[in-house]
Amino acid sequence: MTDDPSRAVPDIRDESVRLTSAAARAGVPLKLFGGMAVWLTCPSVRDGPFARPYADMDFAVTASAAKQARAFLEAEGYIADQFFNRLHGATRLYYSAADGSWSVDVIVDQLAMSHRLDLRTRLAGPGPTVPMADLLLSKLQVWEITRKDLGDALCLLADHPLGDDENAAAVDGPVEPIGLDRIRRVLASDWGFCHTVERNLGKVLDLVTEQPLPDAPFKVAVQVEQLRQVIDEAPKSVGWRARARIGEKVRWYETPEEVRH
What's the confidence (pLDDT) of residue 88? 95
What's the confidence (pLDDT) of residue 164? 83
What's the confidence (pLDDT) of residue 6? 41
Sorted by sequence, the CB contacts under 8 Å of residue 51 that are 6+ apart come out as 45
The DSSP annotation for 69-83 comes to: HHHHHHHTTPEE-HH
pLDDT tens, position by position, 103-125: 999 999 999 999 999 999 999 98
What's the confidence (pLDDT) of residue 255? 87
Spell out where the chain has E strands. Answer: 31-33, 56-61, 79-80, 92-96, 103-108, 110-112, 116-118, 162-163, 178-179
Residue ranges in the chain modelled with pLDDT below 70? 1-10, 165, 167-173, 257-261
What's the confidence (pLDDT) of residue 244? 98
What's the confidence (pLDDT) of residue 221? 98
